[in-house]
Structure 1
Amino acid sequence: MTKLHSLLRVCIHAGILVSVVEGKIDRERIVTKYNVVRTQLIDNATTPLQVGNGNFAFNVDNTGMQTFLPFNTLSSWAWHKDSLPSSGQLPSSYHGVERLTYGRNISYDIPDPNLKDETQWLIGNPNRINLGRIGLKYKGSTLSASQISEPRQELELWSGTITSTFKLDGKSVKVVTQGDFDEDAVAFDIESSLVSDGLLEVEFDFPYPPIHSTTYKYEVFVGVYDFPLNHTTSLIPDRKDSTSTHIQHILQETSYFVNLRWPSQTPLGLTRNGKPGSNTPTAHRYTLSPSSSSSSHQKPHAISFVAHFSPGKTTPSLPSDITERNKKAWKEYWSNGGFVDLTSSSNSKADELQRRIILSQYHVRVNSAAKGQSPQESGLMNNGWYGKFHMEMVIWHNAHWATWGRQKHFDDVFPALYESLLSSSIARAKSMGWEGARWPKMTQLETGVSSPGDVNALLLWQQPHPMYLAQLAYSISPTRATLQKWDRVITATADYMASYAGLNAATGYYDLGPPTYGVTENTPPLTTRNLAYELAYWHYSLRIASLWKSRLHLPIPPQWTHVSRNLAPLPTADDGLYTVYEGLNSTWWADAKLNADPRSLIMLQGILPTLSDSPVNSEMARKTAERVAEVWTDEKIRGWGRPVLAINAARIGNASRAIYHLTAYDYWKFDDAGFAIRGGDGGTPPPFMPGNAGFLYAVAYCVVGWEGGTGELPGFPREAGWVVKWEGLRKAP
């Protein structure tokens, strides 16, 4: 094949030209086209723009700061525990609730009605905290939205820079906000004649976490200012460096610093607004302004500084250093890894699809590129579920890193996430009478505790995820090092899965449950046995675990093979289609509770890779997917439903349906900033990060396909005016 042909392959179908390009794309031109511009004041229902690095994010209102809306400064490392329950009972008195399982009583992490306060404490703790608010102060008071006119704000994606301009009393203000990939820091450059007039200053404030009853399950603004005596802040000048100072914040066992630094040529001074020990809502408020040492005729018209958040006191980088690093790092991010260019398409939906692709890549880098852990579902914008992440969602949050050619970020999370939770998960399985590691559902790395909950305790499909992720890692890097890195986690997972399956003496098969909850969390847990998707996933994962040992030339535990060969058959109904779980007949399709979200049946021939000895009949799975398409109508689909529908449609050869689900804009909403909205009855504030990340995973699927698949563009119909150019994408398993 010539070099030209290797760069450009043209497919002609029905007289319509559709190109697939692996050559050079003008990435900067495309990325810049989708900069986010806002010219209206936002309110508390609007998602803020962000800067950050995956472990840390700073969320801003129209001022480029947190001035008239107290948005959050969140990190992956700052957590807090509420005071113990007032009942006097310690959380250690909670031991779960028993459920009959395979003929014996087993204690699960289910809310105990006799220990309501203790159960709620375990659900809500530890909780992610807001590190502090940084905003503008005008004429001695916090600047209000009503004082602002002519706002304009632009998120420049290529450089990760937010530039905000507005007027106060007719005078211009410009704020440039940038994050840093190397440090959990944000840099500000504030320019206005109001600075030299002494009218415009910077304000810091520190909230305290509320008591986390169910009232605070979803926190748009994390923390409150109602308990000033429950925490302390202290101004700690830097005796060695006149260009920096520090604020220490202590909340019982949690302590961290805001390390501040500014250029020597524009010195600043930090003062505390009130006396330590004050019982007012402003007790922990500080003001940063040009130093009083500056002579009156030399007062600067700008304030430039860095706020670096850290568990320890340190001297951060200068603003100029962070500006230089930030722009370089974002350029490298956009220039490397996968890219999809739809800008030559004539299809009317191409522009919005391109916008979502570009903005999703920005948002996952800011919210989901953490070290050693998966993001919470609302990323680093607000707290849903007390800031904890969900183990069943780790694929939808993180698999895209591998298929978009950004393996570093995938490897930053895995298998470290599982290794951190391995000890507690082994202890959990042992306490319940099983072998191996039973992974939690809703958790946090510090404790590894599985937050009590009916669904949390009985959900199954997070257990096999390590095999899927390990296989994805191996497909990208098929080396012995990859095998060895994952082997301990895979072994512990497979040991649990083989141990958990219960032998049914009447059938001779190994059952899964009851009690169980399926993927969609809408099945009756005490009677649900042998969920179709979970059975197929169990089989796949035990086979991958065995294959893993074979690749390492190690013995395969006989129980893995025995259980995988003797799992119960996938349940079917009298119509010859798969059912959600065993015992249902074809009337289940009319069950409003089940047909409201039957996505697990789509996953049988979608996200789940196909093995040669798979128990999934591909033709039956295809026909089942066609039936699902009839009952799971647009108004019912929410969350990560669209990505899995698009993937399934591509895999069964229905490109038109695949692109429909990626472009169902009337139902699948992305806001003006490009954040996916969960929709439906989710009850959570935006963003919904599995929506953005799952969308990217589905796009890669629809462009380059999957291992063992045939052809490219399985999700783009040839006759619909799509011209797809791509670089750096990798096939899914």
Structure 2
Amino acid sequence: MLARLLLPLLLLATAPALQAQPTTVIDRAAVVARHAVRNSGVNPESALTVGNGDFAVTVDATGLQTLERIYYDNGLPLETRNSWSWHSFPNPENLRFEDTLAPAPFFGRQILYPTQQNTPAGRYYRENPQPMPLGQFQFTLHGEPLRTEDIAGVQQTLDLWTGIVTSRLLVRGQPLEVTTAAHGSAAVLAVQARSTLIASGELQVRLRFPYAYRTSIAHKPPFIWEQPERHRSTLTLLAPSHARIAREADGTRYDTELRWSTPAELVSASTPQLASPHDFRLRATSGDTLAFTAAFADAEHPVANETVASTLASSKQAWADYWTK
């Protein structure tokens, strides 16, 4: 009986002490920072991606997609993709999706399923439509893509709190620092690169466009870099620091708009000796920095007019919001 009487008194006595305990708030930024992704070399199995859930760009140790073939052959493909750009190869035989269907019993009924994959229609509709690759960004040295032997001292970090990749490396002994980010909600890539090799004109940014994916290869289809006559890339200079490249392939159309905030010029890589209608170069005309955005748009998705600064700010805000929800 005494214990039953004392128990409420003990609870009342300890209640203030329990209430006085401070509430522990998790420092989410510190927790996320502990898991930053770091690369200390060229690792094709550790490509990093910036994006927003609707648009993404995967980069190598240079902060761009310079070592595309090495990463594809030995690890992860380096791609620029969004959720709304799709492509289909021509269908001159007018193959119908209905021709892929065959009846199968289902609880006493006959249901049509697309099981005829080994027919012409089955093969066509297995491969079409497929995502449309949105172009590839590379560093070139003296007009040629950087090679692994040109690169040393890689220190690369993906800050998960901000969604920004910072890449520091040596290119033939000269420092190169690259910042890469995607806008928090729009299909916009931001890049800022600094090096004395940029100032000398030796290091440039290359943007080139493949025709499509080779979808006959399953799971990791490579780009189709040949067949330049099957697609178009039309360059239009809209302002001294603003250009549009209109893309068209088999009825798929989209625009790539480039804006640069440092002294630079965008030119076609085509020469009288070499036709490269889908290959472009951004080169500095003054200073040691190239800073630009690449925005992707089509008829249903207007182009986003963003700068490097606004894109970086958007990435930081979007990822901070994500981690604090």
TM-score by length of 2: 0.85
* Aligned-partner residue type, residue 54 of structure 1: G
Partner residue in 1 for 2:212: 209
Partner residue in 2 for 1:269: 265
Work out whether 1:152 is the aligned partner of 2:139: no
* Aligned-partner residue type, residue 109 of structure 1: P
Contact 2:242 / 2:259 at 8 angstroms: preserved in 1? yes
Partner residue in 2 for 1:188: 191
Partner residue in 1 for 2:88: 81
- In structure 2, relative to structure 1, the CA distance for the partners of 1:224 and 1:95 (3 Å cut) is closer
Contact 1:91 / 1:119 at 8 angstroms: preserved in 2? no
Q: Deviations over 1:601-631 (max 9, x none)?
A: xxxxxxxxxxxxxxxxxxxxxxxxxxxxxxx
CA distance in 2, matches of 1:211, 1:139: 30
Q: 273, 281, 290: which is aligned to 1:303?
A: 290
Contact 1:306 / 1:318 at 8 angstroms: preserved in 2? yes
Q: Deviations over 1:321-358 (max 9, x none)?
A: 11222222222222x22xxxxxxxxxxxxxxxxxxxxx
Q: Deviations over 1:534-559 (max 9, x none)?
A: xxxxxxxxxxxxxxxxxxxxxxxxxx
Contact 1:176 / 1:190 at 8 angstroms: preserved in 2? yes
CA distance in 2, matches of 1:132, 1:3: 64
Stretch deviating more after TM superposition (171-180 or 92-101):
92-101
Q: Deviations over 1:268-309 (max 9, x none)?
A: 211011169x996x4411000124xxxxxxx21100011111
Contact 1:259 / 1:308 at 8 angstroms: preserved in 2? yes
Match of 2:58, SS state, is: strand
CA distance in 2, matches of 1:130, 1:105: 39
The alpha carbon displacement at 1:315 in A equals 6.1
Q: 276, 286, 303: which is aligned to 2:280?
A: 286
Q: Deviations over 1:487-509 (max 9, x none)?
A: xxxxxxxxxxxxxxxxxxxxxxx
Q: Which runs of 5+ in 1 are unaligned?
A: 9-20, 292-298, 338-733
Q: 119, 123, 126: which is aligned to 1:120?
A: 123
Contact 2:210 / 2:225 at 8 angstroms: preserved in 1? yes
Match of 2:115, SS state, is: coil
- In structure 2, relative to structure 1, the CA distance for the partners of 1:325 and 1:98 (3 Å cut) is closer
* Aligned-partner residue type, residue 131 of structure 1: L
Partner residue in 2 for 1:91: 96
Residue correspondence of structure 1 range 588-603 to structure 2 within 5 A: none
Partner residue in 1 for 2:114: 109
Contact 1:98 / 1:105 at 8 angstroms: preserved in 2? yes
The alpha carbon displacement at 1:191 in A equals 0.5
Structure with higher helix content: 1
Partner residue in 2 for 1:200: 203
Contact 1:306 / 1:316 at 8 angstroms: preserved in 2? no
The alpha carbon displacement at 1:252 in A equals 1.6
Work out whether 1:39 is the aligned partner of 2:40: yes
Partner residue in 2 for 1:407: none
CA distance in 2, matches of 1:220, 1:174: 31
CA distance in 1, matches of 2:49, 2:230: 29
CA distance in 2, matches of 1:169, 1:305: 24
Partner residue in 2 for 1:328: 317
The alpha carbon displacement at 1:104 in A equals 4.1
Match of 2:68, SS state, is: coil
Partner residue in 1 for 2:165: 162
Partner residue in 1 for 2:220: 219
- In structure 2, relative to structure 1, the CA distance for the partners of 1:96 and 1:190 (3 Å cut) is same
The alpha carbon displacement at 1:109 in A equals 2.1
* Aligned-partner residue type, residue 307 of structure 1: A
Partner residue in 2 for 1:26: 27
Residue correspondence of structure 1 range 331-346 to structure 2 within 5 A: 331-334=320-323, 336-337=324-325
Partner residue in 1 for 2:248: 250
Contact 1:149 / 1:167 at 8 angstroms: preserved in 2? yes
How many pairs were matched up?
Answer: 302
CA distance in 2, matches of 1:95, 1:234: 37
Q: Deviations over 1:351-375 (max 9, x none)?
A: xxxxxxxxxxxxxxxxxxxxxxxxx
- In structure 2, relative to structure 1, the CA distance for the partners of 1:4 and 1:286 (3 Å cut) is farther
CA distance in 2, matches of 1:286, 1:259: 13
* Aligned-partner residue type, residue 289 of structure 1: R
Partner residue in 1 for 2:6: none
Match of 2:201, SS state, is: coil
CA distance in 1, matches of 2:141, 2:209: 19
CA distance in 2, matches of 1:4, 1:228: 76
CA distance in 2, matches of 1:174, 1:168: 10
Structure with higher strand content: 2
- In structure 2, relative to structure 1, the CA distance for the partners of 1:325 and 1:4 (3 Å cut) is farther
Contact 2:100 / 2:116 at 8 angstroms: preserved in 1? no
Q: Deviations over 1:546-601 (max 9, x none)?
A: xxxxxxxxxxxxxxxxxxxxxxxxxxxxxxxxxxxxxxxxxxxxxxxxxxxxxxxx
CA distance in 2, matches of 1:124, 1:5: 64
Contact 2:100 / 2:122 at 8 angstroms: preserved in 1? no
* Aligned-partner residue type, residue 311 of structure 1: D
CA distance in 1, matches of 2:16, 2:206: 58
The alpha carbon displacement at 1:91 in A equals 2.3
The alpha carbon displacement at 1:34 in A equals 1.2
- In structure 2, relative to structure 1, the CA distance for the partners of 1:192 and 1:4 (3 Å cut) is farther
Partner residue in 2 for 1:656: none
Contact 1:209 / 1:224 at 8 angstroms: preserved in 2? yes
The alpha carbon displacement at 1:5 in A equals 5.4
Contact 1:270 / 1:288 at 8 angstroms: preserved in 2? yes
Q: Deviations over 1:629-662 (max 9, x none)?
A: xxxxxxxxxxxxxxxxxxxxxxxxxxxxxxxxxx
CA distance in 2, matches of 1:103, 1:174: 66
Partner residue in 1 for 2:143: 140
Contact 2:233 / 2:245 at 8 angstroms: preserved in 1? yes
Contact 1:7 / 1:22 at 8 angstroms: preserved in 2? no
Q: Deviations over 1:69-89 (max 9, x none)?
A: 26100110111001227xx35
CA distance in 1, matches of 2:142, 2:16: 65
Match of 1:94, SS state, is: helix
- In structure 2, relative to structure 1, the CA distance for the partners of 1:285 and 1:103 (3 Å cut) is same
CA distance in 2, matches of 1:255, 1:6: 63
CA distance in 1, matches of 2:259, 2:94: 46
CA distance in 1, matches of 2:176, 2:35: 24
Contact 2:117 / 2:126 at 8 angstroms: preserved in 1? no
CA distance in 1, matches of 2:124, 2:237: 37
Residue correspondence of structure 1 range 574-723 to structure 2 within 5 A: none
CA distance in 2, matches of 1:3, 1:218: 62
Of all paired residues, the percent bearing the same amino acid is 26
Partner residue in 1 for 2:8: none
CA distance in 1, matches of 2:236, 2:20: 59
CA distance in 1, matches of 2:268, 2:17: 66
- In structure 2, relative to structure 1, the CA distance for the partners of 1:177 and 1:83 (3 Å cut) is same
The alpha carbon displacement at 1:316 in A equals 2.2
Work out whether 1:177 is the aligned partner of 2:166: no
Residue correspondence of structure 1 range 309-708 to structure 2 within 5 A: 309-312=296-299, 314=303, 316-334=305-323, 336-337=324-325
Structure 1 ranges of 4+ moved more than 6 A: 1-4
Q: Which runs of 5+ in 2 are unaligned?
A: 1-10, 70-77
